Structure 1
Amino acid sequence: MPVTTLDPKTALVVIDLQNAVAALPGEPYSTEDVINRTVELADAFRKHDLPVVLVRVSFSADGGDRPTGRTEQQGRATGTPPAGGDQIVDQLAGHPEDIVVTKRNWGAFHGTDLDVHLRRRGITQIVLTGVATSIGVESTARAAFEHGYHVTLATDAMTDLAAESHNHSLTRIFPRLGESGTTAEILALLS
């Protein structure tokens, strides 16, 4: 369903726009384009005194806080994370009023205080951006829906490692979880 409205108490939730992730190539949008569009949204949310939540993923050097379990995909990262890789990109960092949430899973709700931050502020809707569409963004959208939030997905302010994964989330999953719109469409609703 195309984006129709934003609740008076809406927060922007930005997934994994941090240095290590920003260095990855994105499809169908470059991570640089996603960051630029997210900055536009963040500036507009701040201008309207609406919360901006910057979610980052980070693990300890020994990997003891990484999710466990068997997977078919090899190559789960271990060892010392790159210095500064878990820091929010400069284009979004440096706003003391923003909320920073650190996660250790795909989604931003499980094992974090995201829900507490949102509920204490009376938030009823979230607008999601970030990387990767089919992983962190989708996992967070699913949990937000399950927590009773209205979910809006900024379709051109998110990207994935593969265009097919991005498109699958947009066409098959997101219509079941909320409304989708471009950055321009969401900005128009903020005006």
Structure 2
Amino acid sequence: MNQEKAPLFDWNKTALVIIDLQKWIGNRYAPYSAETVIAHSAKLAKLFRSKGAFVALVHVSSKDFKDMPAPKLDTPPPALNLIEGWDEWVPELEVSETDHIISKKQWGAFHGTDLDLQLRRRNLDTLVLCGIASGIGVDTTAREAYQHGYHLIFAIDAMTGFTQAEHEHVRDVIFPRIGRIRTTQEILEESGL
């Protein structure tokens, strides 16, 4: 009995959501380098655009930082060391006029943005997530998406954490409870590439 493998997702119902691949990215990540994450995310973006699928590019942006959360903390947050153009996309993404740009002020891509509205208007129900950092922007967006009822696919090697422990925690504990985990190559093969 020859059973055909069910497709991973329907191109007409799926969006790619890329988190925080902007010029402020540093170089201290694990287990994957920023370069690896950017390269894999750029491949996914190119694939999704070629299929006419929805691509959302999410970044943190602010003019004066007065619109950003300022929680009281026991220890000071790490210094941002922002460079000129810090909130611009890394050039490897080759931002397209068809991409939907989401500017956020906090970790997750849903709160205070039109992401959910744009996805629902297009009748999209599945998100492929990637970006930096696994345990902050990607994880928060994933949890928000899960609570909104979206199906999730994690492009696990197209994301990375500030530490290996951070990445492994969400990969092993959180993500399997709210979605499916695939490599970039597995997603590319799903499309026939």
Alignment of 1:72-83 (within 5 A): 72-75=74-77, 81-83=82-84
What letter matches 1:52 in structure 2? V
Q: Is the 8 A contact 2:24 2:82 kept in 1?
A: no
Name the CA distance, whole Å, in 2 between partners of 1:52 and 1:58: 19
Partner of 2:122: 121
Q: Is the 8 A contact 2:29 2:162 kept in 1?
A: yes
- SS across alignment from 2:130: strand
Alignment of 1:1-191 (within 5 A): 5-8=8-11, 9-21=13-25, 23-61=26-64, 63-75=65-77, 81-191=82-192
| Structure 2 spans left out of the alignment, 5+ residues | 1-5
What letter matches 1:87 in structure 2? E
Report the more deviating stretch, 4-13 or 157-166: 4-13
Name the CA distance, whole Å, in 2 between partners of 1:47 and 1:73: 45
Cα shift readout 1:53-76 (whole Å, capped 9, x = no counterpart): 100001232x21111322233136
| Structure 1 spans left out of the alignment, 5+ residues | none
Name the CA distance, whole Å, in 1 between partners of 2:167 and 2:75: 19
Name the CA distance, whole Å, in 1 between partners of 2:83 and 2:44: 28
State the Cα distance separating 1:24 from its structure 2 match. 3.2
Name the CA distance, whole Å, in 2 between partners of 1:152 and 1:72: 34
Name the CA distance, whole Å, in 1 between partners of 2:141 and 2:35: 21
Name the CA distance, whole Å, in 1 between partners of 2:94 and 2:72: 35
Runs of 4+ in 1 over 6 A off after TM superposition: none
Name the CA distance, whole Å, in 2 between partners of 1:167 and 1:94: 30
Q: Is the 8 A contact 1:59 1:81 kept in 2?
A: no
Percent of matched pairs sharing the same residue: 43
Name the CA distance, whole Å, in 1 between partners of 2:170 and 2:98: 31
State the Cα distance separating 1:165 from its structure 2 match. 0.3
State the Cα distance separating 1:188 from its structure 2 match. 1.6
User: How does the TM-score come out when normalised to structure 1?
Assistant: 0.91
Cα shift readout 1:157-187 (whole Å, capped 9, x = no counterpart): 0001100000000000001110001001111
Name the CA distance, whole Å, in 2 between partners of 1:190 and 1:72: 47
